Chains A and B, each alone.
Chain A
Amino acid sequence: MTHSAAPKRASSLAMIITLGGVAMLSGLLVVLTWQLTLAPIQENQRIMIEKAIFQVIPGAQQRRSYRLTDKGLEQFDPKVTKANKTDLKFYAAYDKQGQLKGIAAEAAAQGYADMVRLIYGYDPKCQCIRGFSIIKMTETPGLGDKILTDETFLANFNALDASLSDDKKSLKNAIITVKHGSKKNLWEIDAISGATITSKAVGKAINQGAEKLLPKLSPYIEELSQLQTLPTSQAEAKQ
């Protein structure tokens, strides 16, 4: 008959053996799956980020990951080294010849329902934002997601001014979202009527991200302007 019908109490040893055995079996299975799926998952992530970067920086063909730490600029491989929370991470995108086309970085702000996470593209030549791509958002379908399709809204990002102030410590003008139809300056974003809060979140995310990254980045633009391969000494040091 089934064990559930048996009134006999199992010994503690049996319990421990069962639990331990099952735990070991499950550990084995999970580790195996993790090992097998690691490569395709990383590949998927790389494709997704590259797609977003090439979308926000027109003409880009290849990219490198960088981070700004207390020590300065450093190229790094996110697969090998993990960035600290305080590091400013960004991507430098180059065309086929290895000329710098732009900088892409992640940013986020509170939207209507939840955080709106995006990647924006910065063009150091015109000191302006060239575009953005949403990584994740849960805004109202049909209203909030207009930020991806509304042409007048996207036209804001043809050349959104993000030039630095004279002392290079901050943005000259904070990027701000204004009410639909009242855009006057190059650093203003014309909101979509009916999706003001989501439009504002996009502006806020880009402003906060740019304010943090761009002033610190400006001394290094020269250094980044040519595609660099990871210096061998540095690559070895990471092994």
Chain B
Amino acid sequence: MSPDSVSFIFLNAFLINNFVLAMFLGLCPFLGVSGKLNTAWSMGLATTLVMLISSISAYFINELLVYFEIEFLRLICYIAVIASAVQLVEMTMKKFSPGLFKALGIFLPLITTNCAILGLALFQTHKDYDLYQSLAYSTGAGAGFILAIVLMAGLREKLELADLPNTSQGAAISLMLAGILSLIFMGFAGLGS
């Protein structure tokens, strides 16, 4: 598979270089909102949605910045656009789909400071992806985020029933679990080459 093909880019972001488990992006929600399976789902979906939107806007903004040769303003522009995109999504959702807003709404403000979103925008610029490749990259990254957070939530729900020593409860055991998950995902490296 050619490394520039859309399918490979998707696979790369989804499994090989999973945003959470291999690149350490988006850890705050990964550790914070992975206690329950259905909240993890909602968080994953909301993040993917914002990822798609910000990836597309980042692509066009970058075109604009390159055209005017003011690339040094990239970071400020990206973060401002992501923050406003999140706000816009929140407002639109509240107006047109209150049900969805009820399910995802509380996660949206959290997503602004999720490094996976900004990381995605920066990486796609760095790798010189065109619009289709950027779309594949953001869907892959979103799917990878959902996979990681749902797996984690499933494990943690099981863990509730396990008899753990007091010392290891909380974040410590979650991190250990994440370490094992990340070890598993290393098996995907080398895929497609």
A-side residues, CB < 8 A to B, are 26-27, 30-31, 34, 85, 108-115, 140, 197, 200-201
Contacts and interface: CB of A to CB of B under 8 A. Distances in A.
B193 A201 contact: yes
A112 B190 contact: yes
Contacts of B72: 30-31, 34
B3 interface: yes
Given A110-B8, A200-B193, 18 more contacts: A26-B76, A30-B72, A31-B72, A34-B72, A85-B128, A108-B3, A109-B3, A109-B193, A112-B189, A112-B190, A112-B193, A113-B17, A113-B22, A113-B189, A114-B17, A197-B190, A197-B193, A201-B193
B3 A110 contact: yes
A88 to B, nearest CB: 16
Interface of B: 3, 8, 16-17, 22, 72-73, 76, 128, 189-190, 192-193
B76 A110 contact: no
A110 B73 CA distance: 30
* Of B3, B8, B22, B192, most A-chain CB atoms within 10 Å: B3
Contacts of B128: 85
A109 B39 CA distance: 39
A27 B8 CA distance: 38
* Of B8, B16, B17, B189, most A-chain CB atoms within 10 Å: B189
A237 to B, nearest CB: 20
28 contacts: A26-B76, A27-B73, A30-B73, A30-B76, A31-B72, A34-B72, A85-B128, A108-B3, A109-B3, A109-B193, A110-B3, A110-B8, A110-B192, A110-B193, A111-B193, A112-B189, A112-B190, A112-B193, A113-B16, A113-B22, A113-B189, A114-B17, A115-B3, A140-B189, A197-B190, A197-B193, A200-B193, A201-B193
A231 B81 CA distance: 45
B125 to A, nearest CB: 14
A111 B17 CA distance: 12
A118 to B, nearest CB: 14
Contacts of A115: 3
A112 B16 CA distance: 9
Contacts of A27: 73
Contacts of A109: 3, 193
Contacts of A85: 128
